[in-house]
Amino acid sequence: MKLCGLQKTTLLDFPGHVAATVFLGGCNFRCPFCHNSGLLGNETESTFTKEDILNFLKKRKGILEGVCITGGEPTLEEDLEPFIKEIRELGYLIKLDTNGYQPEVLKYLVLHGLLDYVAMDIKAGRENYSKAAGVCSLKIKNIEESAAFLITGTVPYEFRTTAVKGIHGPHDFQDIGRWLAGCSHYYLQNFADSDQVLCPGFQSFSKEELEEFLNILKPFIPNAMLRGIDD
C-alpha cells in the first residue's frame, strides 16, 4: 500500500467531523489540472507505513472522529478494504474520495458497511470527460454507474467539480445538471494554481463566472453550492 501523505487534522475534508486525511499514491486519471501530481505515478513511493498511520490514529482516539482516504485514486489499492477495516476497528468513521471509475469497488465498500461518506469528483460534462480526465479511451459508463449508485442514497455523499478556465464552459454544467438532477449535495469549486499542478498554465474563474455556472446548475440541482469562494 502506497501511503504517501498524512494531514493530521482537518476541519474541512469530512463534513461535520474532525478528521485526519490519508493520501494514497497511484491514479488511473491524468487530469491536466491535478494539484496532487506527485501522487499519480506507479513509481510513487510510500512515505509512511501502515503501522505509522494506525499508531497515529490510536494516539488520537477521542480527539479525531474520522479518517478521509484520498489520493491519487484509493480504489486502485488492493489492500484498501483491510486498511479501512483496521481503521474502523479503532472506532473511526471513514470518508472516501474517488473519481468513480471503479464502480464495483465503490459499491462493494458501501454495501459492506465500510464507508460513512463518499466524495466523488465529477470532472466535466460527459462529452468533455476525456479531456478533463486526461484519458483518451475513458469509459464514461463507469462514471455514470458510480454516480447513479450514489444518487440512490445508500451512503451519504457529495459530488464536486473543480472549474478550470480552458477546460470547462457552460455546456459542461448544462450536462452535469441534467445528469445529476436531484442529487443531494453538489459543490462547485475553483481551480487554484500551484507548483504541483500536472500541466501548468491553467487559470481560475472569477466569482461572477462561477455564479453563472451555478445558475445553470440550480434548476436541476437546487442544493448546488459554491465551495471555498471568498466573498
Q: Hey, what domains does the chain have and what are their CATH numbers?
A: 3-227 (3.20.20.70)
Q: How confident is the model at residue 33 (pLDDT cuts 50, 70, 90)?
A: very high
pLDDT digits (tens, 9 = 90+) for 86-123: 999 999 999 999 999 999 999 999 999 999 999 999 99
Residue 37 has pLDDT above 80, yes or no: no
Per-residue pLDDT at 42 exceeds 80: no
Q: Average pLDDT in the 32-45 region?
A: 72
Q: DSSP states of the chain as a string?
A: --EEEEEEEESSSSTTS-EEEEEE---S---TT-S-GGG-STT---SB-HHHHHHHHHHTBTTB-EEEEESS-GGG-TTHHHHHHHHHHTT-EEEEEE-S--HHHHHHHHHTT--SEEEEE--S-GGGHHHHHT-TT--HHHHHHHHHHHHTTSS-EEEEEEE-BTTB-HHHHHHHHHHTTT-S-EEEEE----TT-SSTT-BPPPHHHHHHHHHHHTTT-TT-EEES---
Q: What's the pLDDT score for residue 219?
A: 98
Q: What is the structure's pLDDT at 229?
A: 80
The pTM score is 0.94
pLDDT at residue number 44: 63
| Confidence at residue 110, expressed as pLDDT on a 0 to 100 scale | 98
Q: Provide mean pLDDT across the span 76-90.
A: 97
Please tell me which residue, 196 or 30, carries the higher pLDDT value: 30
- Per-residue pLDDT, averaged over 55-66, amounts to 96
Residue 212 predicted with pLDDT over 90:
yes
Task: Examine the pLDDT at 231 and tell me if it is beyond 60.
Answer: no
Over range 155-176, report the average pLDDT: 97
Give me the mean pLDDT over the 178-185 stretch: 97
Q: What rounded mean pLDDT belongs to the chain? A: 94
Average pLDDT of the residues in 191-212:
90
